[in-house]
Amino acid sequence: MIRRYTKWIPVVLVAGVALTAACSDDILNPPTSSVDSLFSKYVAIGNSITAGFQSGGISDSTQSLSYAQILAAQMGVSEFNTPLMNRPGCPPPYINVFTQDRGGYADDDCFLRMAPIPEFLHNVAVPGAAVIDALTNLSPDSDPNPLTTFFLGGLTQLEAAAIIRPTFTSVWIGNNDVLGAILDANAGDPALVTSPTEFAANYAAMMDSLDAFGSIQGGVLVGVVQAAFAPYLTQGRAYFQAAATIPLPTLTVLGNCLTDFTLVPGTNDTLWVSVPFHYGGPIFAAAAAGSAQTLDCSVPQVVSSAEMLNMVGSVNAYNAAIATEAADRGWAFVDPNPLLEALLADPTAIRPFPAFNPLDPQHETAPFGWALSRDGVHPSTVIHEDVADALIAAVNATYGTSIPTP
Amino acid sequence: MRRAISGLVVAVALAAIPGTAVAQGFQVNEHGTCVMGRAGAGVASPCDDASSIYYNPAGLAGSQGWTISAGVTAIYAIGNFTGDLNGDETKLANSVIPVPHLYASYGKDKWAAGLGVFVPYGLGTVWPDSFEGRFLGFDNDLRSIYIQPTAAYEVLDWLTVGAGLDIVIGSVELTQRLDLSAQALPLPGLPAGTTVGELGIPFHTQFAEGKLHASGATGFGGNFGVRIKPVETVDIGIRYLTRVKLDYTGTATFEQVASGLILAPNSAIAPALGLDPALPLPVDSLVAGLGLFGTGAPLSEQSVTTSITMPDQLTVGVAINAFPSLKVLAEWQWVHWSLFETLEADFEFAPDLTLHENYRNTNAFRFGLDWATSDKVNLRGGYLYHEAAAPDQTVTPLLPEGPRNEFTLGGGFKLGSRFVLDLAYQFIRQDQRRGRVRDADPGQLPTVDLNSGVYIFNAHLFAATFAVHF
């Protein structure tokens, strides 16, 4: 009886083949990079520059111009989510920094996150964040702002980054550990500059947290910008020269603006007393309007040359600590200050004196030079591209990858 | 005896908890161990255990005397979801579920009548409450119990007909977490429709659990069958099960669950709510203070109504006695799944819920063998293929369904002249299928772009039926 059915064996075999062919499995579609799997999940940690803040404001328009966005595109990542803000912004960027015109909107206007919100973020940078803010929002030393919640909604940058378990990260944070001292009413106050010891400890803790993700295979750390040289600060001697050459008889610039300088120990560099825009700008504008004004560079609102020295020294120490963290992990390190120094040598890139004159062609569009956005602190789109180029070169050199430049 | 059968019907109805659906959509086709061993091919040549009440009512005709059978199918479902982003795997948390069946019939001369209890539609999916897909549903149960009195008649030697009245009792239970980021926040100064997510709360931030429970829905349908024997060695069967619409009324309950989020000081949310912006803002305290769960509030206990139509089925099959002791069966089944377009729940206070399903009509192909190795032993085997009812954009935790290849083995053992024990095993291998763990954005229809991982589903089914003839 059994033998009679052996002729069915081929049928069974054919059926088996048919069954195998009938299976059609879908597969996972994990994040990818067209350049190298190292970059398949890239997360950007940072502050306003990384977030894409320009001209004192932020919207999806400026966010899409961030160096991090450019880097992600050049890495060929399949997905790079940013907490995009609706236009005109949060707050809307300046149209004219001298009149503080944001297109008719107020400094605290915010047009909320763009819907639909993404499931997770790759650019977790928050404007205003110092290193401590990447670690915690709730420490007494933290300084969260409305964008902290708009972007991260109760998470820290590290917590938001951990969700995607990144394979690669860029970290450009620390600028606000010194920049706050420039933007404060008592500009240059050493108490507003994070001590190098505290900075190093916070930065190390942040890097340890990133290591703890267990997923990161590489990264690039970017040093802190010498905020003392930001165009937002104008050397006192530039005011002195401007008052004399315009001429502007209603403006008296005291000699302490010209003479207060400090030689950087061990170098031939000179640090000059500097006037923050929020203090010098209104004085100059009032004088230009015919009101007699006096600029005294000995007041607390002005950054003394000694305070400048403290800031420069602190940033040098910060960058040494960051470079060490990078070297310890074999990560790439980029010091942005050589780029800044090259720009400082070009008076059209970084103007020694803001374009106060409404007749100046750059008065509205590039009041601090083409390298800066309209707020005098945050880089312009062109510089974001240059930063991306610098990071690409450093990453390629460190990891032997071939990220193309834009 | 009648009283005993009545008690059994109630017991089986109460115990008829389906496992994860094991045919297309949320259809279940395993209602008799003998037929299960033949890959479910039972329309043309029913088994002698009265299960034809379900598979083809015409198959009752010709039986003589009483037949009572009772059995159970144990469903052990294994499944998981693996996300694209991190490759994390979340396993289905279903336990082994017994699905009983019960039939009784009596035949005399050309007439036969019977009663069956079975569950042709049902699903049960349980995922961990930490699963990313918990916002679509993580503990879901749907059951439609059919109680079917049936009559059959042999019209001619080569033609029998049968019909049954289906009394359908349905219940549904859905449990899901609610996403705070998707909730509208009607505050002064904010544009209408602004969601909490637009204020920064991360996507899929849980803040409440909602449970919809509705039972006692009843409906009526019919199950009609014809068997034709054109030649001595060939049987042809046709069977049509009508659609049944069930209107459910039930209760929805909500309770707050912790998000664990604490908003940083200086957020824009605190001043909008009249709170001190200088202080951290625990989201859970904020939610608790909104009065969402109080009497008459949107998330208070409330009534809910919904409707689901159990689709109609058409089955056509042929059985050929290729050899005196070997029966070869082939069967095609069409299920009208396109009726399942949306699952809408109308809440008394909470915003109504609409799940877009957009199922497609499906075809199933079943091939079985039944070999009588002796007067006392039958061996069975088979293969079946089911198309997927869910389109690519609707593969969700509720029912991560897909095309299935299934393999069966079985045996029937006569124990004396009156008793038969049938045993069967079925392996279900579902194609790995991309699916989603999130809903579409408000006002949008789901698309395949929302799919973010792969669902894997397999199942082992073990069945046993004991039948007695007298």
Q: Which residues of B touch A30 (CB under 8 A)?
A: 84-85, 87
Who among A25, A28, A153 is closest to B431 (CB)?
Answer: A25
Of the partner residues A23, A41, A138, the one whose CB lies closest to the CB of residue B262? A138
Torsion, Cα of B439, B442, B446, B452 (10° steps): -40
Residue of A nearest to B429 (CA): A23
Evaluate if residue A14 carries a pLDDT over 80. no
DSSP letter at B33 equals H
B286 to chain A nearest CA, in Å?
Answer: 13
What distances in angstroms separate CA A28 from CA A25, A37, A57, A395, B211, one per listed residue? 10, 15, 39, 28, 31
pLDDT for A1 beyond 90: no
Cβ count near A246 (within 10 Å)? 15
Inter-chain CB pairs, A–B, below 8 Å: 128
Residues of chain B found within 8 Å of residue A145, distances taken between Cβ atoms = 266
Shortest distance between the Cα of A213 and any Cα of chain B, in A, equals 12
C-alpha–C-alpha distance, residues A249 and B179, integer Å? 64
| CA distance linking residue A335 with residue A45, whole number of Å | 16
Query: How close B84 comes to chain A (CA, Å)?
Result: 4
Judged against a pLDDT cut of 80, whether residue B16 lies above it is answered with no
Write down the pLDDT at residue A265: 82
B197 chain-A contacts, CB cut-off 8 A: 113, 115-117
From A405, A392, A400, select the one nearest A42 (Cα to Cα). A392
What is each CA distance from B444 to A116, A166, B191, B345, B441, in whole angstroms?
A: 11, 30, 19, 17, 5
What backbone phi and psi angles, to 5 degrees, belong to A75?
A: -75, -10
Contact A149 B267 (CB under 8 A): yes
| Residue A135 confidence class, pLDDT cut points 50, 70, 90 | very high
Determine whether the interchain pair A117/B194 forms a contact, defined as Cβ–Cβ distance below 8 Å: no
Per residue in B424-449, pLDDT (tens digit) is 999 999 999 999 999 998 788 999 99
Give the per-residue pLDDT at B193: 86
Sign for the CA dihedral angle at B262, B264, B265, B266 comes to: negative
For B232-266, b/e burial (b = at least 16 CB within 10 A) is eeebbbbbbbbebebebebebbbebbebebbbbbb
Q: Which among A26, A117, A144 is the nearest to B264, CB-wise?
A: A144
- Closest Cβ–Cβ partner in A23, A26, A116 for B454: A26
| pLDDT at residue number B15 | 42
Question: How far is the C-alpha of B227 from the C-alpha of B60, rounded, in Å?
Answer: 10
A382–B contact, CB cutoff 8 A: no
* Cβ–Cβ below 8 Å for B268 and A142: no
Mutate to test the interface with B, among A32, A79, A119 (most CBs of B within 10 A): A119
- Residue A284 — φ and ψ, nearest 5°? -65, -40
Is there a contact between A68 and A47 (Cβ–Cβ < 8 Å)? no
In 3D space, the residue among B271, B132, B248, B253 whose CA is nearest the CA of residue B199 turns out to be B271
Residue A13 at interface with chain B, using a CB cutoff of 8 Å: no
B383/chain A closest Cα distance in angstroms: 9
Is the pLDDT confidence value at A130 over 60? yes
Phi first, then psi: what are they for A357, rounded to 5°? -70, 120
Residue A6 contacts B, CB cutoff 8 Å? no
Give the tens place of pLDDT for each residue, B327-338: 999 999 999 999
Tokens 């780029």 belong to residue:
A339
A113·B203 Cβ contact <8 A? no
Give which of B349, B311, B348, B351 is closest to B439, Cα–Cα: B351
Q: What is the mean pLDDT of residues B67-79?
A: 94
Across A193-207, A268-282, A381-395, least confident range: A268-282
- Whether residue A151 lies within 8 A of chain B, CB to CB, comes out as yes
**Measured between CA atoms, how close is A1 to chain B, in angstroms?**
9
CB distance B261–A146 less than 8 Å? no
Closest CB to B198 among A115, A118, A119:
A115
Whole-number Å distance between alpha carbons of A305 and A264: 10
CB A153 within 8 A of CB B269: no
Tell me the average pLDDT across A131-140: 96
Residue A3 pLDDT > 70:
no
Residue the block writes with tokens 């709510």: B273
- pLDDT above 50 (res B72): yes
The most confident of the ranges A81-95, A247-261, B117-131 is: A81-95
Q: Mind listing the pLDDT tens digit for each residue in B198-218?
A: 999 999 999 999 999 999 899
Quote the pLDDT of residue B353: 87
Average pLDDT over residues B459-470: 96
- Span B66-89, average pLDDT: 95
Which is more confidently placed, A228 or A318? Answer: A318
| Nearest by Cα to B37 from B421, B323, B418 | B421
- Does pLDDT of B13 surpass 50? no
Task: Specify the 3-state DSSP secondary structure of A378.
Answer: coil
For B302, the token pair is 């409330």
- Dihedral pair phi/psi, residue A139, rounded to 5°: -70, 150
pLDDT tens-place string over residues B46-65: 999 999 999 999 999 999 99
Q: What is the mean pLDDT of residues B224-228?
A: 98
Question: Read out DSSP for B210-271?
Answer: EEEEEEEEEEEEEEEEEEEEEETTEEEEEEEE--EEEEEEEEEEEEE-----EEPTT-SHHH
Q: Do B198 and A113 touch (CB under 8 A)?
A: yes
Is residue A43 within 8 angstroms of chain B, CB to CB?
A: no
- pLDDT of res. B274: 85
CB–CB of B141/B19 below 8 Å?
no
Check A117 against B86: CB less than 8 A apart: no
- Residue A2 forms contact with B (CB below 8 Å): no
A24 vs B238, more confident = B238
Cβ pair B263:A153 closer than 8 A: yes
Dihedral sign for Cα atoms in the order B39, B42, B47, B53: positive
pLDDT, residue A21, reads 52
Residue A82 sits at the chain B interface (C-beta within 8 Å): no
- The nearest alpha carbon in chain A to B283 belongs to A154
For residue B348 the two structure tokens come to 């008394």
Q: Do A4 and B323 touch (CB under 8 A)?
A: yes
| CB atoms near residue A359 (< 10 Å) | 6
Nearest-by-Cβ selection for B84 from A5, A22, A29: A29
Interface test with B, best of A2, A7, A28 (most B CBs within 10 A): A28
User: What are the tens digits of pLDDT across the range A26-62?
Assistant: 999 999 999 999 999 999 999 999 999 999 999 999 9
- Residue B278's φ and ψ, nearest 5 degrees, are -75, -10
Segment A104-113, tens digit of pLDDT: 999 999 999 9
Q: Which residue has the higher pLDDT, A246 or A223?
A: A223
Query: Taking residues B276-299, what's their average pLDDT?
Result: 93
Nearest to A28 among B82, B261, B283 (CB): B82
* Residue A191 to chain B, least CA–CA distance (Å): 21
Helices (runs of H) and strands (runs of E) counted in chain B: 5, 22
3-state DSSP call for residue A384? helix
Nearest residue of chain A to residue B262 (CA atoms): A154
Burial (CB count <10 Å: 0-12, 13-18, 19+), residue B409: middle
Looking at every residue in chain B, the average pLDDT score rounds to 92
Q: How far is B430 from chain A (nearest CA, A)?
A: 8
The residue among B100 and B390 whose pLDDT is bigger is B390
Residue of B nearest to A24 (CA): B431
User: Looking at the predicted structure, is the pLDDT value of residue A20 above 80?
Assistant: no
Q: What percent of chain B has pLDDT over 70?
A: 95
Nearest CA to B23 out of B121, B127, B145 is that of B121
Q: Which two tokens stand for residue B434?
A: 């991309």
Q: What are the angstrom distances between the C-alpha of B327 and each of A270, B321, B373?
A: 101, 4, 11
Contacts of B261 in chain A (CB under 8 A): 153-155
Q: Which of A5, A22, A29 sits opposite B405 (nearest CB)?
A: A22
Q: Is A144 on the interface with B (CB under 8 A)?
A: yes
Residues of A in contact with B429 (CB under 8 A): 23
Q: How far apart are CA B29 and CA B22, in angstroms?
A: 7
Of A26, A31, A153, the CB nearest to B434: A26
Contact between B264 and A160 using a beta-carbon 8 Å cutoff: no
pLDDT over 50 at A317, yes or no: yes
Locate the chain A residue with the closest alpha carbon to B279.
Answer: A138
Q: How confident is the model at residue B22 (pLDDT cuts 50, 70, 90)?
A: low
The nearest CA of chain A is from the CA of B405 a distance in Å of 7
d(CA A258, CA A296): 10
Scan for tokens 């409404």, then name that residue: A358
- Rounded to the nearest angstrom, the gap between the alpha carbon of residue B151 and the centroid of all alpha carbons in its chain is 27
Angle at A231 between CA A373 and CA A319, to 5 degrees: 100
Q: Which residues on chain A are in Cβ contact (under 8 Å) with B324?
A: none
By the 10 Å C-beta count (0-12 exposed, 13-18 middle, 19+ buried), A122 is classed as buried
> Which residue in this structure is represented by tokens 């991560």?
B400
Q: How confident is the model at residue A368 (pLDDT cuts 50, 70, 90)?
A: very high
pLDDT-derived band at A132 (thresholds 50, 70, 90) equals: very high
What confidence tens digit (pLDDT) does each residue in B337-368 have? Answer: 999 999 899 999 998 988 899 999 999 999 99
A142-199 per-position pLDDT tens digit: 999 999 999 999 999 999 999 999 999 999 999 999 999 999 999 999 999 999 999 9
More confident residue, B284 or A21: B284
Q: How many CA atoms lie within 13 A of A390 on its CB side?
A: 20
